[in-house]
Structure 1
């Protein structure tokens, strides 16, 4: 028998058992700090006319007050950036600020989702501009300078859902060739069966034509008492095999036509998020290489730290986004800024021409801006950007010979027609530098646009001036800093909603929260400065 000896260790102590009454009566004025962002959110939400854009009259019996839901949403965006609906529901139960706004009600996560989807999806853009106009009326915001930058956000799309235009077109033509062979077999079968019917061969794919043939084949099988058989151990008739192959080709062509409709004028898209386009991202979680991922190109314009404008594009290049971005800004505020500092991704002939027409100073660098600043060496002295010019603005080759005009052409492919000059050097034959300069037997040729070169010279003067250096520093601090704050500090580096409307809703709501947070800080700073000034005067 096993005997266990146990020793009891006891310790004398006084148990801490508080016996006091707790005061659970809460007061907004007493328990919420006067410099808390919650007060600023309530001020902004009640200062703009939300009812102008959101219909609060059509509330169900289980619905909550729309203004209350809007306040909760923008408070969460101001505090956390992105906030899920489930976290919103928890905050209304645990955070005293959300509890006061909600009036001690506890909306579920689906209540927030219904409000966002049904009431905020359409007017969120107008609400964003209304918030900005309210901020303009309360504090001084320098809107003469609009710092522009863009970033690519990864879409909420599944892996391996690629649709490529070239692959779709190639597979579509392959499938159509199979369909032509199938129609030839059908014609031979009808000829053997002494049926006086032949189907023509079309050059272009036509789904309706294939379906029409399949309907005729069904009638033929029905008239000749040929039954459709399926499964193991069943031997198909020859005409049924041709019919099944024809149906399969028609369905595949129909699938490719749907893919082309989804693509529109793009070269790629995703099956799970049709509006997303495949772009190069800085990080790839597929296989840690720089392959394409579905995403959106988000353009923002920042003035004095506030996000003034947003443009969501499916184009991975920033060049074509500048003009629609500025037109959207003009439509929202009625005026355009006088300066729009941006990086080299926006420097193009069309964008410079647009700026000149709208009295916007050129502070957008261009591709090759830093290459031109490189020292001329034996390797790069033959490049066009390093060729010298004489007093008449004529290009001079490294051997000292002048380029002559061969012809002028007008490029009308872009928004503004551009005059290009083709210059040729007739002194290349026998030149000792020809092997390093050109491989052409006719001589070195270059194409240039004098108006674009004049724009480049103006950009260099503006950017390298004292004001230009300050503006470029301001752009990197404000425009790029806004994305850095969202991605790094708030962890918002990937989209959660799908579709262009869902992405727009998500981005605009986060921008509203970002601007309110900035406005709150500016308001507190102004208040402290005023108090300090009063103390000095007294």
Structure 2
């Protein structure tokens, strides 16, 4: 009996086909690329067409390049070179591009230049389409932020404190020479004004050095070392001052920036591409989400979430005409300025303040029995009652201005006879009578937030925030490996995050 042989399916590489399959037949009906294609086809691309000149050579159609870019970000392909390669080798990209083969320069130029003023409108169109399908709400959002590392060298940086230190050193050196010249000057009228922090600039330093040169040059008793030091100052200080002034213009209100991406600010990262948690140049990315769809996004220089809400809310109004009706956020946004802003916009704010979570803990409350917010207030007499039952009288207002220019008013109250009190040293640590500062407006806002957050809807929204907005960042950074921007400059970073936001929404829709 003959031995049986294994059976294989026919394998003929050079087999000709009478009716070759099309790309459309090779892509499943429920494939994500079809969602990308259908949504982008439904978007109004008129703003994008304005980025092209009427004259000149023919261009690849912007719909083609937009689809390739968006689907690239959906499938974790962010490099323009790899996108160009995918258009030559991958069936979904070949189907989207209709067998066109744009090179990486074309893709990169389209992303960095053509989309500069048009991508926001594309993103808004996508959000509105998803809202019409009932997948998300534009009026009820959850807001949070994350820091993402910039494409910048962490070793080439400029710090505001360093500039101030160097200018102070310059001032001291000029003061030393000025004091020396004052002692030996034959004619006091020739002496320039003494250098101060207010006149340390290129022009004033140059004028001061010229006058000091006149005083010291005509005096044979002048120390040669002092003259040499003055020559060094004359040679280097004006150029250094000009450099510092230019750096301060770039800094604006920031404390630092990277020389390789001047829009990036140094921030403490929870994680970065090197996984060592160092201080790195980055951007603060703010989003508002609904059902894990991104409704709004903004990019910020400043590392704290507290100061980003105003610009973020303005962008929402610019995109959709009005502010959201309800906004939920964590304690990072719970400031008097933000509460006042949300009140003015008539937004129902489910926003925690910094001590909200701690206040829910009975053990924490028992640790600080003498805290100012726990003292009894008699509104008829406008006095606080100290732990010993003595009155603390109003003695005036304290005005404070925040880094953003917001003015806060505190009412100050002072106790009497603290020296003889048995609780002295326990109730407070100051040497004299205890003084407390009360922000009446913020106290009212915190009470209002406390009541709202503890309603049935408030509790539900607090719970939902953790699995609505936070998973969006986790999905983009962890599941799709985007932890560092590829482009430089705030404008291009906004484009890149806009593409990530569209990709997140389309992935969610496809799922």
Quick check: 2:142–2:327 contact (8 Å CA) kept in 1? Answer: yes
1:72-114 residue CA offsets vs partner (Å, 9 max, x unmatched): 111112222x511111011111211111222212221112112
1:274 to 259, 262, 269: 262
Quick check: 1:149–1:342 contact (8 Å CA) kept in 2? Answer: yes
1:358 to 341, 345, 364: 345
The total of aligned residue pairs comes to 486
1:311 aligns with 2:307: no
| 2: CA distance, partners of 1:248 / 1:57 | 48
Larger Rg: 1
Quick check: 2:383–2:413 contact (8 Å CA) kept in 1? Answer: no
CA shift in 2, pair 1:378/1:412, >3 Å:
closer
Quick check: 1:179–1:249 contact (8 Å CA) kept in 2? Answer: no
CA shift in 2, pair 1:426/1:490, >3 Å:
same
How far 1:65 sits from its partner (Å)?
Answer: 2.0
CA shift in 2, pair 1:433/1:181, >3 Å:
closer
| 2: CA distance, partners of 1:418 / 1:384 | 18
| 1: CA distance, partners of 2:204 / 2:396 | 49
1:265 to 235, 244, 253: 253
| 2: CA distance, partners of 1:492 / 1:284 | 10
**Partner of residue 15, structure 2:** 21
| 2: CA distance, partners of 1:342 / 1:356 | 15
How far 1:407 sits from its partner (Å)?
Answer: 2.8
Determine helix, strand or coil for the equivalent of 1:407: strand
How far 1:209 sits from its partner (Å)?
Answer: 5.8
1:157 aligns with 2:152: yes
| 1: CA distance, partners of 2:173 / 2:419 | 55
The 5 A counterparts of 1:154-233 are 154-178=149-173, 200=192, 203=195, 204-208=199-203
Q: Which moved more, 1:509-518 or 1:417-426?
A: 417-426
Quick check: 1:187–1:198 contact (8 Å CA) kept in 2? Answer: no
1:148 aligns with 2:148: no
Determine helix, strand or coil for the equivalent of 1:309: strand
| 1: CA distance, partners of 2:246 / 2:178 | 23
2:279 to 280, 292, 298: 292
- Which blocks of at least 5 consecutive residues in structure 1 are unaligned? 1-11, 192-196, 218-237, 522-538
**Partner of residue 243, structure 2:** 255
**Partner of residue 426, structure 2:** 436
The 5 A counterparts of 1:124-143 are 124-143=119-138
TM-score scaled by length of structure 2: 0.83
1:326 to 302, 313, 324: 313
Q: Which moved more, 1:48-57 or 1:411-420?
A: 411-420
**Partner of residue 449, structure 2:** 459
**Partner of residue 30, structure 1:** 25
- Which blocks of at least 5 consecutive residues in structure 2 are unaligned? 213-225
| 2: CA distance, partners of 1:164 / 1:73 | 36
Determine helix, strand or coil for the equivalent of 1:362: strand
1:95 aligns with 2:90: yes
CA shift in 2, pair 1:101/1:285, >3 Å:
closer
1:397 to 376, 386, 389: 386
2:483 to 474, 493, 503: 493
| 1: CA distance, partners of 2:291 / 2:313 | 17
Quick check: 2:192–2:208 contact (8 Å CA) kept in 1? Answer: no
1:75 aligns with 2:71: yes
Determine helix, strand or coil for the equivalent of 1:340: strand
How far 1:413 sits from its partner (Å)?
Answer: 2.3
CA shift in 2, pair 1:453/1:64, >3 Å:
same
1:507 aligns with 2:497: yes
CA shift in 2, pair 1:443/1:240, >3 Å:
closer
